[in-house]
A and B are shown apart, each in its own frame.
Chain A
Amino acid sequence: MTMNATMRDNPINERAFEWLVRADGGLSPAEQAELGAWLASDSRHYGAYMRAKAVFNHVGRAKAFAHLPNPDEWPLVVQPGERRTIQPVSAANNDRDDIAPMSRRALLGLASGAVVAGLTVAFFATGQPAEALTFRTRRGEMRDIALTDGTRVALNTESEIRVLFGERLRKVELVGGEALFDVAHEAGRAFVVDAIAFQARAVAASFAIRKIGGVAPQLVVREGAVDLTPANATSLRVSANSRVWVFSGGKVSRHMLTQAELGRELMWREGKIAFEDTPLRYAISAFDRYGSVHIEVDDPAILDHTVTGVFSSDDPMGFAKAVSEVFDLDAVPQGRGIILRKRD
Protein backbone atom coordinates (compact mmCIF):
# COMPACT_ATOMS: atom_id res chain seq x y z
CA MET A 1 0.00 0.00 0.00
CA THR A 2 1.31 3.41 -0.82
CA MET A 3 0.68 5.26 2.34
CA ASN A 4 2.51 8.08 3.94
CA ALA A 5 3.70 6.94 7.33
CA THR A 6 3.79 10.45 8.79
CA MET A 7 0.07 11.00 8.41
CA ARG A 8 -0.72 7.77 10.14
CA ASP A 9 0.69 8.99 13.41
CA ASN A 10 -1.92 11.63 14.08
CA PRO A 11 -5.30 9.94 14.44
CA ILE A 12 -7.13 13.25 14.94
CA ASN A 13 -5.92 14.63 11.61
CA GLU A 14 -6.83 11.36 9.99
CA ARG A 15 -10.34 11.44 11.46
CA ALA A 16 -10.73 15.09 10.48
CA PHE A 17 -10.00 14.35 6.83
CA GLU A 18 -12.35 11.37 6.88
CA TRP A 19 -15.14 13.53 8.27
CA LEU A 20 -14.45 16.28 5.80
CA VAL A 21 -14.63 13.97 2.81
CA ARG A 22 -17.80 12.35 4.15
CA ALA A 23 -19.31 15.80 4.60
CA ASP A 24 -18.28 16.61 1.03
CA GLY A 25 -20.29 13.62 -0.12
CA GLY A 26 -23.29 14.63 1.99
CA LEU A 27 -24.19 13.68 5.55
CA SER A 28 -27.44 12.34 6.90
CA PRO A 29 -28.92 14.26 9.88
CA ALA A 30 -27.68 11.50 12.18
CA GLU A 31 -24.15 11.74 10.79
CA GLN A 32 -24.31 15.50 11.05
CA ALA A 33 -25.09 15.17 14.73
CA GLU A 34 -22.25 12.71 15.14
CA LEU A 35 -19.84 15.13 13.48
CA GLY A 36 -21.11 17.97 15.65
CA ALA A 37 -20.50 15.92 18.77
CA TRP A 38 -17.02 14.97 17.62
CA LEU A 39 -16.10 18.59 16.88
CA ALA A 40 -17.44 19.83 20.21
CA SER A 41 -15.73 17.17 22.30
CA ASP A 42 -12.18 18.52 21.89
CA SER A 43 -10.80 21.80 20.56
CA ARG A 44 -8.12 19.81 18.74
CA HIS A 45 -10.87 18.07 16.76
CA TYR A 46 -12.32 21.39 15.70
CA GLY A 47 -8.85 22.74 14.83
CA ALA A 48 -7.95 19.65 12.82
CA TYR A 49 -11.28 19.82 10.99
CA MET A 50 -10.80 23.49 10.11
CA ARG A 51 -7.32 22.65 8.93
CA ALA A 52 -8.69 19.83 6.78
CA LYS A 53 -11.20 22.24 5.26
CA ALA A 54 -8.46 24.74 4.53
CA VAL A 55 -6.35 22.01 2.90
CA PHE A 56 -9.34 20.85 0.83
CA ASN A 57 -9.77 24.41 -0.32
CA HIS A 58 -6.07 24.82 -1.04
CA VAL A 59 -5.74 21.68 -3.16
CA GLY A 60 -8.92 22.64 -4.98
CA ARG A 61 -6.71 25.13 -6.79
CA ALA A 62 -5.60 22.18 -8.88
CA LYS A 63 -8.79 22.88 -10.86
CA ALA A 64 -6.51 25.22 -12.79
CA PHE A 65 -5.27 22.05 -14.46
CA ALA A 66 -8.70 20.84 -15.51
CA HIS A 67 -7.73 21.07 -19.18
CA LEU A 68 -4.81 18.67 -18.67
CA PRO A 69 -6.20 15.18 -18.12
CA ASN A 70 -2.82 13.72 -17.24
CA PRO A 71 -1.45 15.05 -13.92
CA ASP A 72 2.06 14.10 -15.06
CA GLU A 73 1.91 17.19 -17.25
CA TRP A 74 0.86 19.54 -14.47
CA PRO A 75 4.27 20.43 -13.08
CA LEU A 76 5.45 21.21 -16.61
CA VAL A 77 3.01 24.07 -17.10
CA VAL A 78 4.07 25.86 -13.92
CA GLN A 79 7.75 26.33 -14.58
CA PRO A 80 9.79 28.03 -11.89
CA GLY A 81 11.07 31.53 -12.55
CA GLU A 82 8.55 32.21 -15.19
CA ARG A 83 5.58 34.39 -14.52
CA ARG A 84 3.01 32.60 -16.55
CA THR A 85 -0.52 31.96 -15.55
CA ILE A 86 -2.24 28.73 -16.29
CA GLN A 87 -4.28 28.91 -19.45
CA PRO A 88 -7.97 28.89 -18.70
CA VAL A 89 -9.91 25.91 -19.88
CA SER A 90 -11.39 26.67 -23.24
CA ALA A 91 -14.38 24.83 -24.54
CA ALA A 92 -12.65 24.45 -27.88
CA ASN A 93 -9.70 22.70 -26.29
CA ASN A 94 -11.47 19.38 -26.20
CA ASP A 95 -9.11 17.75 -28.62
CA ARG A 96 -6.03 16.17 -27.22
CA ASP A 97 -4.38 15.69 -30.58
CA ASP A 98 -1.24 17.43 -29.36
CA ILE A 99 -0.36 14.28 -27.47
CA ALA A 100 1.83 12.07 -29.61
CA PRO A 101 -0.17 9.01 -30.60
CA MET A 102 1.30 5.56 -30.19
CA SER A 103 3.31 4.68 -33.24
CA ARG A 104 1.79 2.35 -35.77
CA ARG A 105 4.81 0.12 -35.47
CA ALA A 106 4.16 -0.32 -31.76
CA LEU A 107 0.57 -1.19 -32.46
CA LEU A 108 1.45 -3.73 -35.12
CA GLY A 109 3.95 -5.24 -32.72
CA LEU A 110 1.21 -5.68 -30.21
CA ALA A 111 -1.25 -7.12 -32.69
CA SER A 112 1.10 -9.65 -34.20
CA GLY A 113 2.42 -10.66 -30.80
CA ALA A 114 -0.96 -11.63 -29.52
CA VAL A 115 -2.04 -15.20 -30.04
CA VAL A 116 -5.09 -15.21 -32.25
CA ALA A 117 -7.07 -18.27 -31.34
CA GLY A 118 -10.18 -19.52 -33.07
CA LEU A 119 -10.29 -16.79 -35.71
CA THR A 120 -13.76 -16.38 -37.08
CA VAL A 121 -14.32 -14.73 -40.39
CA ALA A 122 -17.71 -13.17 -40.85
CA PHE A 123 -18.86 -13.15 -44.43
CA PHE A 124 -21.82 -11.19 -45.52
CA ALA A 125 -22.44 -9.09 -48.53
CA THR A 126 -22.45 -5.35 -48.29
CA GLY A 127 -25.23 -3.50 -49.98
CA GLN A 128 -27.74 -6.14 -48.93
CA PRO A 129 -30.38 -5.20 -46.41
CA ALA A 130 -28.46 -5.13 -43.17
CA GLU A 131 -28.84 -8.25 -41.11
CA ALA A 132 -27.47 -8.49 -37.64
CA LEU A 133 -24.80 -11.03 -37.01
CA THR A 134 -24.26 -11.88 -33.37
CA PHE A 135 -21.02 -12.95 -31.73
CA ARG A 136 -20.99 -14.04 -28.12
CA THR A 137 -18.44 -15.38 -25.64
CA ARG A 138 -19.12 -17.46 -22.54
CA ARG A 139 -17.56 -16.73 -19.17
CA GLY A 140 -13.83 -17.27 -19.40
CA GLU A 141 -13.89 -17.45 -23.20
CA MET A 142 -12.06 -15.06 -25.51
CA ARG A 143 -12.58 -14.76 -29.20
CA ASP A 144 -11.05 -12.97 -32.17
CA ILE A 145 -13.30 -12.05 -35.04
CA ALA A 146 -12.39 -10.73 -38.49
CA LEU A 147 -15.12 -8.69 -40.11
CA THR A 148 -15.51 -8.40 -43.88
CA ASP A 149 -14.14 -4.88 -44.03
CA GLY A 150 -10.86 -6.03 -42.50
CA THR A 151 -11.74 -4.82 -39.01
CA ARG A 152 -10.61 -7.12 -36.22
CA VAL A 153 -12.62 -7.48 -33.05
CA ALA A 154 -11.37 -9.17 -29.89
CA LEU A 155 -14.15 -10.19 -27.52
CA ASN A 156 -13.35 -10.59 -23.87
CA THR A 157 -15.19 -12.91 -21.46
CA GLU A 158 -19.01 -12.87 -21.35
CA SER A 159 -19.38 -10.38 -24.15
CA GLU A 160 -21.72 -9.93 -27.05
CA ILE A 161 -21.69 -7.81 -30.18
CA ARG A 162 -24.18 -7.48 -33.02
CA VAL A 163 -22.71 -6.52 -36.36
CA LEU A 164 -24.95 -4.46 -38.61
CA PHE A 165 -23.09 -3.26 -41.67
CA GLY A 166 -24.93 -1.04 -44.10
CA GLU A 167 -23.99 0.80 -47.26
CA ARG A 168 -23.01 4.00 -45.56
CA LEU A 169 -22.27 2.88 -42.05
CA ARG A 170 -20.45 0.03 -40.39
CA LYS A 171 -22.39 -0.34 -37.19
CA VAL A 172 -21.68 -2.67 -34.28
CA GLU A 173 -23.75 -2.88 -31.12
CA LEU A 174 -21.90 -3.79 -27.96
CA VAL A 175 -24.66 -5.58 -26.09
CA GLY A 176 -22.43 -6.16 -23.07
CA GLY A 177 -18.93 -7.05 -21.95
CA GLU A 178 -15.70 -5.83 -23.39
CA ALA A 179 -14.31 -5.65 -26.89
CA LEU A 180 -11.29 -4.29 -28.69
CA PHE A 181 -11.84 -2.95 -32.18
CA ASP A 182 -8.98 -2.56 -34.67
CA VAL A 183 -10.93 -0.65 -37.26
CA ALA A 184 -9.85 -0.94 -40.90
CA HIS A 185 -9.89 2.32 -42.79
CA GLU A 186 -12.64 2.64 -45.33
CA ALA A 187 -13.26 5.90 -47.10
CA GLY A 188 -16.82 7.14 -46.78
CA ARG A 189 -18.05 4.42 -44.43
CA ALA A 190 -17.56 5.27 -40.79
CA PHE A 191 -17.35 2.60 -38.12
CA VAL A 192 -19.70 3.12 -35.20
CA VAL A 193 -19.97 1.14 -31.98
CA ASP A 194 -23.19 1.68 -30.09
CA ALA A 195 -22.77 0.99 -26.39
CA ILE A 196 -26.17 2.49 -25.41
CA ALA A 197 -24.62 4.88 -22.86
CA PHE A 198 -22.56 6.31 -25.69
CA GLN A 199 -21.60 5.88 -29.33
CA ALA A 200 -18.02 5.67 -30.53
CA ARG A 201 -17.34 6.65 -34.14
CA ALA A 202 -14.06 6.23 -35.95
CA VAL A 203 -12.69 6.17 -39.45
CA ALA A 204 -9.56 4.22 -38.60
CA ALA A 205 -8.63 3.60 -34.99
CA SER A 206 -7.93 1.00 -32.38
CA PHE A 207 -10.09 1.25 -29.29
CA ALA A 208 -11.64 -0.86 -26.57
CA ILE A 209 -15.00 -0.46 -24.88
CA ARG A 210 -15.98 -2.05 -21.60
CA LYS A 211 -19.54 -2.23 -20.47
CA ILE A 212 -20.12 -4.43 -17.47
CA GLY A 213 -22.69 -4.30 -14.72
CA GLY A 214 -22.30 -1.82 -11.90
CA VAL A 215 -19.32 -0.04 -13.42
CA ALA A 216 -19.32 3.15 -15.47
CA PRO A 217 -18.73 2.18 -19.12
CA GLN A 218 -15.33 3.13 -20.46
CA LEU A 219 -13.60 3.76 -23.76
CA VAL A 220 -9.87 3.30 -24.18
CA VAL A 221 -8.27 4.57 -27.39
CA ARG A 222 -4.89 3.15 -28.27
CA GLU A 223 -4.52 4.46 -31.80
CA GLY A 224 -6.19 7.05 -33.96
CA ALA A 225 -9.05 9.18 -32.77
CA VAL A 226 -12.58 8.29 -31.74
CA ASP A 227 -15.56 10.62 -31.59
CA LEU A 228 -17.49 9.76 -28.48
CA THR A 229 -21.10 10.85 -28.13
CA PRO A 230 -22.70 10.17 -24.75
CA ALA A 231 -26.46 9.67 -24.82
CA ASN A 232 -28.09 13.11 -24.68
CA ALA A 233 -24.81 15.01 -24.66
CA THR A 234 -22.43 16.63 -27.11
CA SER A 235 -19.65 14.61 -28.62
CA LEU A 236 -15.97 14.92 -27.94
CA ARG A 237 -12.91 13.69 -29.77
CA VAL A 238 -10.81 11.21 -27.87
CA SER A 239 -7.25 10.78 -29.06
CA ALA A 240 -4.83 7.91 -28.65
CA ASN A 241 -3.57 6.87 -25.22
CA SER A 242 -6.59 8.01 -23.33
CA ARG A 243 -9.42 6.56 -21.34
CA VAL A 244 -12.86 8.03 -20.91
CA TRP A 245 -15.44 7.05 -18.35
CA VAL A 246 -19.03 7.89 -19.15
CA PHE A 247 -21.22 8.62 -16.17
CA SER A 248 -24.96 8.95 -15.92
CA GLY A 249 -26.28 12.21 -17.35
CA GLY A 250 -23.64 12.20 -20.08
CA LYS A 251 -20.89 13.35 -17.73
CA VAL A 252 -17.50 12.15 -18.90
CA SER A 253 -14.09 11.98 -17.33
CA ARG A 254 -11.02 11.69 -19.51
CA HIS A 255 -7.51 10.62 -18.53
CA MET A 256 -4.33 10.23 -20.47
CA LEU A 257 -2.75 6.80 -20.07
CA THR A 258 0.93 5.95 -19.97
CA GLN A 259 2.11 3.11 -22.19
CA ALA A 260 2.24 0.90 -19.09
CA GLU A 261 -1.34 1.76 -18.12
CA LEU A 262 -2.53 1.20 -21.67
CA GLY A 263 -0.81 -2.17 -21.66
CA ARG A 264 -2.57 -3.10 -18.43
CA GLU A 265 -5.95 -2.05 -19.81
CA LEU A 266 -5.58 -4.45 -22.73
CA MET A 267 -3.81 -7.29 -21.00
CA TRP A 268 -6.98 -9.37 -21.11
CA ARG A 269 -6.07 -10.00 -24.76
CA GLU A 270 -3.37 -12.30 -23.46
CA GLY A 271 -5.54 -13.91 -20.83
CA LYS A 272 -4.00 -11.83 -18.07
CA ILE A 273 -5.31 -9.47 -15.44
CA ALA A 274 -3.03 -6.72 -14.23
CA PHE A 275 -3.39 -4.93 -10.92
CA GLU A 276 -1.50 -2.00 -9.61
CA ASP A 277 -2.24 -1.07 -6.03
CA THR A 278 -5.74 -2.42 -6.60
CA PRO A 279 -7.92 -3.05 -3.53
CA LEU A 280 -8.46 -6.77 -3.08
CA ARG A 281 -12.26 -6.38 -3.26
CA TYR A 282 -11.89 -5.09 -6.80
CA ALA A 283 -9.31 -7.67 -7.78
CA ILE A 284 -11.64 -10.46 -6.62
CA SER A 285 -14.55 -9.09 -8.63
CA ALA A 286 -12.23 -8.92 -11.66
CA PHE A 287 -11.63 -12.68 -11.32
CA ASP A 288 -15.38 -13.26 -10.97
CA ARG A 289 -15.79 -12.01 -14.52
CA TYR A 290 -13.65 -14.83 -15.86
CA GLY A 291 -14.68 -17.90 -13.94
CA SER A 292 -17.06 -19.44 -11.46
CA VAL A 293 -14.49 -19.93 -8.68
CA HIS A 294 -15.24 -17.15 -6.23
CA ILE A 295 -12.71 -16.00 -3.66
CA GLU A 296 -14.03 -15.32 -0.16
CA VAL A 297 -12.34 -13.77 2.85
CA ASP A 298 -12.98 -14.54 6.49
CA ASP A 299 -12.12 -10.98 7.54
CA PRO A 300 -13.61 -8.18 5.42
CA ALA A 301 -10.77 -5.85 6.50
CA ILE A 302 -8.51 -7.80 4.14
CA LEU A 303 -10.55 -6.50 1.20
CA ASP A 304 -9.05 -3.03 1.60
CA HIS A 305 -5.48 -4.30 1.18
CA THR A 306 -4.09 -3.57 -2.23
CA VAL A 307 -2.43 -5.92 -4.65
CA THR A 308 -0.02 -5.40 -7.52
CA GLY A 309 0.94 -7.87 -10.21
CA VAL A 310 -0.04 -9.71 -13.37
CA PHE A 311 -2.11 -12.87 -13.04
CA SER A 312 -3.69 -15.43 -15.36
CA SER A 313 -7.38 -14.72 -15.54
CA ASP A 314 -8.15 -18.46 -15.59
CA ASP A 315 -6.17 -19.22 -12.45
CA PRO A 316 -7.91 -17.73 -9.41
CA MET A 317 -6.10 -20.24 -7.16
CA GLY A 318 -2.73 -18.95 -8.35
CA PHE A 319 -3.92 -15.45 -7.55
CA ALA A 320 -5.28 -16.46 -4.14
CA LYS A 321 -1.98 -18.14 -3.27
CA ALA A 322 0.02 -15.09 -4.30
CA VAL A 323 -2.24 -12.88 -2.18
CA SER A 324 -2.02 -15.21 0.80
CA GLU A 325 1.80 -15.12 0.65
CA VAL A 326 1.84 -11.34 0.80
CA PHE A 327 -0.72 -10.90 3.55
CA ASP A 328 0.15 -13.95 5.60
CA LEU A 329 -3.07 -15.81 4.90
CA ASP A 330 -4.04 -19.33 3.93
CA ALA A 331 -5.80 -19.96 0.61
CA VAL A 332 -8.09 -22.94 1.13
CA PRO A 333 -10.43 -24.51 -1.44
CA GLN A 334 -13.96 -24.55 -0.13
CA GLY A 335 -16.79 -26.00 -2.16
CA ARG A 336 -16.48 -24.47 -5.60
CA GLY A 337 -14.65 -21.45 -4.27
CA ILE A 338 -11.55 -20.43 -2.37
CA ILE A 339 -11.41 -18.88 1.07
CA LEU A 340 -8.62 -16.60 2.29
CA ARG A 341 -8.16 -17.14 6.00
CA LYS A 342 -5.92 -15.64 8.63
CA ARG A 343 -2.99 -17.96 9.20
CA ASP A 344 -3.13 -19.58 12.64
Chain B
Amino acid sequence: MDGDARTLWLSRNIVPHEGSIRRIVGSWRLPEGLEAEDIVQESYSKIASLPSVEQIVAPKAYFLQIARSILLMHVRRAKLVSIEVIADLEHLHTADEAPSPETCASDREQLRLLAQAVARMGEPNRSVFVLRMIQGISYKDIGQALGLSENAVQKMLARSLASLALEIGRGRNGIARASNDSGDKACDRQQ
Protein backbone atom coordinates (compact mmCIF):
# COMPACT_ATOMS: atom_id res chain seq x y z
CA MET B 1 0.00 0.00 0.00
CA ASP B 2 1.57 3.29 -0.97
CA GLY B 3 1.51 6.48 1.05
CA ASP B 4 -1.42 8.02 -0.78
CA ALA B 5 -3.60 4.96 -0.32
CA ARG B 6 -2.76 5.02 3.38
CA THR B 7 -3.68 8.69 3.57
CA LEU B 8 -7.01 7.90 1.95
CA TRP B 9 -7.60 5.06 4.39
CA LEU B 10 -6.85 7.31 7.37
CA SER B 11 -9.06 10.07 6.04
CA ARG B 12 -11.99 7.68 5.64
CA ASN B 13 -11.59 5.51 8.70
CA ILE B 14 -9.89 7.51 11.40
CA VAL B 15 -10.40 11.24 10.85
CA PRO B 16 -14.21 10.99 11.20
CA HIS B 17 -13.76 9.17 14.54
CA GLU B 18 -11.23 11.55 16.02
CA GLY B 19 -13.75 13.14 18.34
CA SER B 20 -14.62 9.95 20.17
CA ILE B 21 -11.01 8.72 20.01
CA ARG B 22 -9.87 11.89 21.74
CA ARG B 23 -12.60 11.61 24.32
CA ILE B 24 -11.58 8.06 25.21
CA VAL B 25 -7.84 8.72 25.28
CA GLY B 26 -8.58 11.88 27.23
CA SER B 27 -10.31 9.81 29.91
CA TRP B 28 -7.18 7.73 30.54
CA ARG B 29 -4.94 8.53 33.43
CA LEU B 30 -1.56 9.29 31.91
CA PRO B 31 1.90 9.33 33.45
CA GLU B 32 3.23 12.78 34.13
CA GLY B 33 4.59 14.57 31.08
CA LEU B 34 2.50 12.56 28.62
CA GLU B 35 -0.52 14.14 27.01
CA ALA B 36 -3.47 12.66 25.17
CA GLU B 37 -2.37 14.47 22.01
CA ASP B 38 1.05 12.76 22.18
CA ILE B 39 -0.71 9.39 22.18
CA VAL B 40 -2.99 10.36 19.30
CA GLN B 41 0.00 11.53 17.23
CA GLU B 42 2.05 8.43 17.99
CA SER B 43 -0.92 6.22 17.16
CA TYR B 44 -1.26 7.91 13.79
CA SER B 45 2.44 7.40 13.26
CA LYS B 46 2.17 3.72 14.12
CA ILE B 47 -0.89 3.02 11.98
CA ALA B 48 0.59 4.95 9.07
CA SER B 49 3.71 2.75 9.24
CA LEU B 50 1.89 -0.59 9.28
CA PRO B 51 2.71 -2.73 6.25
CA SER B 52 -0.98 -3.27 5.61
CA VAL B 53 -4.29 -2.02 6.95
CA GLU B 54 -6.55 -4.04 4.70
CA GLN B 55 -7.29 -6.64 7.35
CA ILE B 56 -8.54 -4.03 9.83
CA VAL B 57 -12.31 -4.35 10.10
CA ALA B 58 -12.89 -1.97 13.00
CA PRO B 59 -10.51 0.93 12.43
CA LYS B 60 -11.50 2.98 15.45
CA ALA B 61 -11.20 0.05 17.85
CA TYR B 62 -7.88 -0.84 16.25
CA PHE B 63 -6.63 2.71 16.61
CA LEU B 64 -7.55 2.64 20.30
CA GLN B 65 -5.70 -0.66 20.76
CA ILE B 66 -2.62 0.94 19.29
CA ALA B 67 -3.12 3.96 21.52
CA ARG B 68 -3.31 1.64 24.53
CA SER B 69 -0.12 -0.17 23.57
CA ILE B 70 1.61 3.20 23.22
CA LEU B 71 0.48 4.20 26.68
CA LEU B 72 1.78 0.88 28.10
CA MET B 73 5.10 1.46 26.41
CA HIS B 74 5.38 4.91 27.98
CA VAL B 75 4.44 3.52 31.40
CA ARG B 76 7.11 0.84 31.10
CA ARG B 77 9.73 3.40 30.17
CA ALA B 78 8.77 5.95 32.77
CA LYS B 79 11.00 5.95 35.80
CA LEU B 80 8.27 6.98 38.13
CA VAL B 81 4.63 6.04 37.66
CA SER B 82 1.92 6.83 40.15
CA ILE B 83 -0.03 4.00 41.69
CA GLU B 84 -3.25 5.36 40.15
CA VAL B 85 -1.86 5.02 36.66
CA ILE B 86 -0.93 1.39 37.32
CA ALA B 87 -4.35 0.67 38.81
CA ASP B 88 -6.10 2.26 35.86
CA LEU B 89 -4.16 0.26 33.30
CA GLU B 90 -6.01 -2.88 34.42
CA HIS B 91 -9.33 -1.73 33.09
CA LEU B 92 -8.43 0.86 30.55
CA HIS B 93 -11.46 1.16 28.34
CA THR B 94 -10.79 1.16 24.65
CA ALA B 95 -14.35 0.78 23.47
CA ASP B 96 -16.85 3.55 23.37
CA GLU B 97 -19.10 2.39 26.16
CA ALA B 98 -21.66 5.09 25.65
CA PRO B 99 -21.56 5.38 21.91
CA SER B 100 -21.73 8.98 20.99
CA PRO B 101 -23.83 10.11 18.06
CA GLU B 102 -20.95 10.89 15.77
CA THR B 103 -19.22 7.52 16.03
CA CYS B 104 -21.22 6.30 13.13
CA ALA B 105 -21.71 9.27 10.84
CA SER B 106 -22.41 8.22 7.28
CA ASP B 107 -20.48 9.59 4.34
CA ARG B 108 -23.30 12.00 3.70
CA GLU B 109 -23.32 13.18 7.28
CA GLN B 110 -19.57 13.69 7.16
CA LEU B 111 -19.99 15.82 4.08
CA ARG B 112 -22.68 17.79 5.86
CA LEU B 113 -20.42 18.36 8.86
CA LEU B 114 -17.72 19.57 6.54
CA ALA B 115 -20.13 21.86 4.69
CA GLN B 116 -21.32 23.38 7.94
CA ALA B 117 -17.80 23.86 9.22
CA VAL B 118 -16.76 25.65 6.01
CA ALA B 119 -19.93 27.75 5.99
CA ARG B 120 -19.03 28.96 9.48
CA MET B 121 -15.46 29.97 8.56
CA GLY B 122 -14.62 33.67 8.57
CA GLU B 123 -13.12 35.64 5.72
CA PRO B 124 -10.59 35.76 4.16
CA ASN B 125 -9.91 32.22 5.42
CA ARG B 126 -12.95 30.84 3.66
CA SER B 127 -12.01 32.39 0.34
CA VAL B 128 -8.52 30.97 0.69
CA PHE B 129 -9.98 27.54 1.47
CA VAL B 130 -12.34 27.61 -1.51
CA LEU B 131 -9.75 28.97 -3.93
CA ARG B 132 -7.18 26.31 -3.05
CA MET B 133 -9.16 23.24 -2.03
CA ILE B 134 -12.06 23.60 -4.48
CA GLN B 135 -10.78 25.65 -7.40
CA GLY B 136 -7.18 24.52 -7.24
CA ILE B 137 -5.79 28.03 -7.73
CA SER B 138 -2.08 28.32 -6.89
CA TYR B 139 -1.00 29.92 -3.61
CA LYS B 140 0.76 32.64 -5.56
CA ASP B 141 -2.36 33.55 -7.51
CA ILE B 142 -4.52 33.47 -4.38
CA GLY B 143 -2.06 35.80 -2.69
CA GLN B 144 -2.29 38.13 -5.66
CA ALA B 145 -6.08 38.16 -5.62
CA LEU B 146 -6.33 38.79 -1.91
CA GLY B 147 -3.33 41.08 -1.57
CA LEU B 148 -1.46 38.66 0.70
CA SER B 149 1.94 37.07 0.53
CA GLU B 150 2.11 33.44 -0.58
CA ASN B 151 3.40 32.61 2.87
CA ALA B 152 0.49 34.34 4.60
CA VAL B 153 -1.97 32.44 2.39
CA GLN B 154 -0.35 29.14 3.32
CA LYS B 155 -0.37 29.91 7.02
CA MET B 156 -4.01 30.89 6.79
CA LEU B 157 -4.96 27.63 5.10
CA ALA B 158 -2.89 25.60 7.57
CA ARG B 159 -4.78 27.18 10.47
CA SER B 160 -8.14 26.62 8.79
CA LEU B 161 -7.33 22.96 8.18
CA ALA B 162 -6.24 22.49 11.77
CA SER B 163 -9.52 23.84 13.12
CA LEU B 164 -11.59 22.02 10.49
CA ALA B 165 -9.90 18.78 11.58
CA LEU B 166 -11.24 19.25 15.09
CA GLU B 167 -14.69 20.19 13.88
CA ILE B 168 -15.21 17.30 11.49
CA GLY B 169 -13.98 14.79 14.05
CA ARG B 170 -16.05 16.26 16.82
CA GLY B 171 -19.47 15.72 15.29
CA ARG B 172 -22.56 17.70 16.07
CA ASN B 173 -25.95 17.06 17.56
CA GLY B 174 -28.41 15.70 15.07
CA ILE B 175 -26.04 13.11 13.70
CA ALA B 176 -27.59 10.42 15.89
CA ARG B 177 -30.26 9.50 13.42
CA ALA B 178 -27.69 8.94 10.75
CA SER B 179 -26.28 6.00 12.65
CA ASN B 180 -29.31 3.99 11.60
CA ASP B 181 -28.37 4.33 7.98
CA SER B 182 -27.44 1.06 6.40
CA GLY B 183 -24.44 0.68 4.17
CA ASP B 184 -22.29 3.02 6.20
CA LYS B 185 -18.84 2.62 4.78
CA ALA B 186 -17.26 4.89 7.32
CA CYS B 187 -18.74 2.95 10.21
CA ASP B 188 -16.91 0.26 12.05
CA ARG B 189 -18.52 -2.93 10.92
CA GLN B 190 -18.83 -4.35 14.38
CA GLN B 191 -20.92 -1.49 15.67
Query: What is the interface of chain A, defined by CB distance below 8 A to chain B?
Result: 2-4, 6-7, 10, 12-14, 17-18, 20-22, 24-25, 43-48, 50-66, 69, 71-72, 74-75, 77-81, 83, 85-86, 214-216, 218, 245, 247-248, 251, 253, 255, 261, 276-279, 281-282, 285-286, 304
Contacts and interface: CB of A to CB of B under 8 A. Distances in A.
A21 B15 contact: no
Interface centre among A46, A50, A53, by most B CB within 10 Å?
Answer: A50
* 8 closest Cβ pairs, A-B complex: A47-B45, A47-B44, A54-B10, A74-B115, A4-B163, A47-B41, A57-B11, A44-B41
A17 B114 contact: no
Interface string B41-78: 11111101100000000000000000000000000000
A65 B168 CA distance: 17
Given A17-B159, A43-B42, A277-B123, A58 B135 contact: no
A65 B49 CA distance: 33
B115 A62 contact: yes
Given A17-B162, A63-B134, A245 B145 contact: yes
B126 interface: yes
A216 B115 CA distance: 27
Interface centre among B14, B37, B154, B161, by most A CB within 10 Å?
Answer: B161
Interface on chain A toward B: helix, strand, loop, or mixed SS?
A: helix
B114 A59 contact: yes
B98 interface: no
Interface residues of B, number: 71
25 contacts: A6-B163, A7-B162, A7-B166, A13-B37, A14-B162, A17-B165, A18-B155, A20-B158, A21-B155, A44-B45, A47-B41, A51-B40, A53-B7, A54-B7, A54-B44, A55-B168, A60-B133, A61-B114, A62-B115, A63-B133, A71-B118, A78-B111, A85-B108, A216-B141, A277-B122
A315 B29 CA distance: 58
Contacts of A247: 137, 141, 144-145
A278 B125 CA distance: 10
A25 B150 contact: yes
B108 A83 contact: yes
Interface of B: 6-8, 10-12, 14-16, 37-38, 40-46, 48-49, 108-112, 114-116, 118-119, 121-127, 130-135, 137-139, 141, 144-150, 152, 154-155, 157-159, 161-166, 168, 174, 177-178, 181
Contact of A46 (B45, B122, B159): B45
Contact of B115 (A66, A75, A83, A215): A75
Interface centre among A59, A214, A251, A276, by most B CB within 10 Å?
Answer: A59
B41 A281 contact: no
B44 to A, nearest CB: 4
Given A277-B122, A277-B123, A14 B158 contact: yes
Contact of A253 (B135, B154, B157): B135
A338 B12 CA distance: 52
B134 A248 contact: no
Contacts of A281: 147-149, 152
B122 A48 contact: no
Given A46-B45, A51-B44, A71-B130, 9 more contacts: A4-B166, A13-B37, A14-B158, A20-B161, A24-B132, A62-B118, A62-B134, A66-B135, A285-B147
B141 A248 contact: yes
Contact of A65 (B12, B134, B181): B134
A236 to B, nearest CB: 13
B161 A215 contact: no
A65 B133 CA distance: 11
Given A56-B161, A58-B15, A71-B115, A47 B166 contact: no
Given A214-B144, A253-B131, A54 B15 contact: yes
A43 B41 CA distance: 8
A17 B115 CA distance: 20
Given A47-B40, A50-B45, A58-B168, A13 B162 contact: yes
Nearest to B45: A47
A278 B124 contact: yes
A30 to B, nearest CB: 16
B70 to A, nearest CB: 9
A255 B11 CA distance: 28
Contacts of B12: 58
B11 A74 contact: no
A276 B163 CA distance: 20
Nearest to A39: B45
